[in-house]
């Protein structure tokens, strides 16, 4: 579905993406991880050209996104959903209106848009909050509206840029549950940037580890987190062991 070849992006002297190549298969759940600042967000933002790379090729179903004209790009963006860390809902609109907004703006009639928005909000368990404005919703519920907004387009590819990063730990879980549900039903191909190890372990078909703008390792969670070949992979393995030991000690009453 998606083939990225030799991608480069520099901000001043900083090489944020340094010759990155990656393929994503239809239906795959790919989790992109790595230390802060290694280039994960920049990488996924180049895919729908929120960030313009300096060099490289990004093929979506064999068409190079980087040479698309603005009208083609606009059509493409409807096939690629994006969920951000900051949900950026419109404060004066209800949950339903927030999801309908983009659909109506892109020319869809109100009735169809409302049906699609209702369906999308039901998929994320927000059918009971259609008339609530963002200020009346918790952070987790606001993020679920943000997810519904992307889902309403029925995108082929969903990209998630640290969707739980701005939530407190209790609300993180409710968003992860929704994401796991969508992944389980293979609603679309997913590229997920996250620091949530438990999500990566349980849900990912493939983990891609980045460091300093490059991919340093990729494979199934059972491979990358158990027999890593990179320093970053080794650090994640140690972190998982540490967390498992802490849980075991806590359960046996030692903590």
Question: Least Å distance between CB 255 and ligand ATP?
Answer: 29
Q: Which of 26, 46, 41, 32 is nearest to 157 (CA)?
A: 26
Say if strands 157-161 and 189-193 run parallel, antiparallel, or are unpaired.
parallel
- Residue (35 or 125) nearer to ligand ATP, CB: 35
- Residue (53 or 81) nearer to ligand ATP, CB: 53
| C-alpha torsion 114→120→123→126, nearest 10 | -60
Question: Least Å distance between CB 191 and ligand ATP?
Answer: 13
Kindly write down the DSSP assignment for every residue of 213-226, as one continuous string.
TEEEEEE-HHHHTT
d(CA 207, CA 253): 33
Question: Least Å distance between CB 5 and ligand ATP?
Answer: 19
Positions in the binding site for ligand ATP (CB under 6 A): 11, 14, 16, 34, 36-42, 162
Question: Least Å distance between CB 3 and ligand ATP?
Answer: 20
Question: Least Å distance between CB 161 and ligand ATP?
Answer: 8
- Residue (11 or 242) nearer to ligand ATP, CB: 11
- Residue (86 or 184) nearer to ligand ATP, CB: 86
Please count the other Cβ atoms lying within 10 Å of the Cβ belonging to residue 248: 11
Kindly write down the DSSP assignment for every residue of 138-205, as one continuous string.
-HHHHHHHHHHHHHTT--SEEEEESTTTTS-HHHHHHHHHHHHHHHHTT-SEEEEE---HHHHHHH-S
- Residue (14 or 229) nearer to ligand ATP, CB: 14
CA 90 to chain centre: 21
């Amino acid at each position: 579905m998606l083939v990225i070849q030799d991608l480069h992006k520099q901000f001043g002297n900083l090489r944020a993406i340094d010759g990155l190549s990656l393929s994503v298969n239809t239906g795959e759940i790919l989790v992109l991880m790595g230390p802060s600042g290694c280039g994960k967000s920049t990488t996924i933002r180049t895919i729908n050209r929120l960030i313009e790379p300096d060099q490289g090729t990004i093929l979506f179903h064999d068409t190079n996104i980087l040479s698309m004209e603005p009208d083609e790009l606009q059509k493409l963006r409807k096939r690629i959903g994006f969920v951000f860390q900051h949900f950026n809902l419109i404060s004066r609109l209800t949950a339903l209106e927030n999801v309908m907004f983009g659909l109506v703006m892109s020319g869809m009639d109100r009735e169809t848009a409302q049906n699609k928005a209702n369906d999308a909000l039901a998929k994320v368990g927000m059918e009971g909050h259609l008339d609530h404005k963002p200020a009346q919703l918790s952070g987790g519920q606001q993020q679920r509206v943000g997810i519904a907004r992307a889902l309403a387009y029925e995108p082929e590819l969903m990209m998630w840029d640290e969707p739980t990063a701005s939530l407190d730990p209790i609300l993180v879980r409710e968003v992860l549950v929704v994401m796991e549900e969508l992944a389980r039903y293979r609603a679309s191909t997913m590229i997920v940037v996250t620091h949530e190890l438990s999500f990566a372990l349980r849900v990912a078909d493939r983990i891609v580890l980045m460091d300093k703008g490059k991919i340093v390792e990729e494979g199934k969670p059972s491979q990358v987190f158990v027999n890593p070949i990179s320093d970053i992979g080794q650090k994640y393995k140690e972190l998982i062991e540490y967390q498992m030991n802490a849980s075991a000690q806590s359960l046996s009453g030692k903590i």
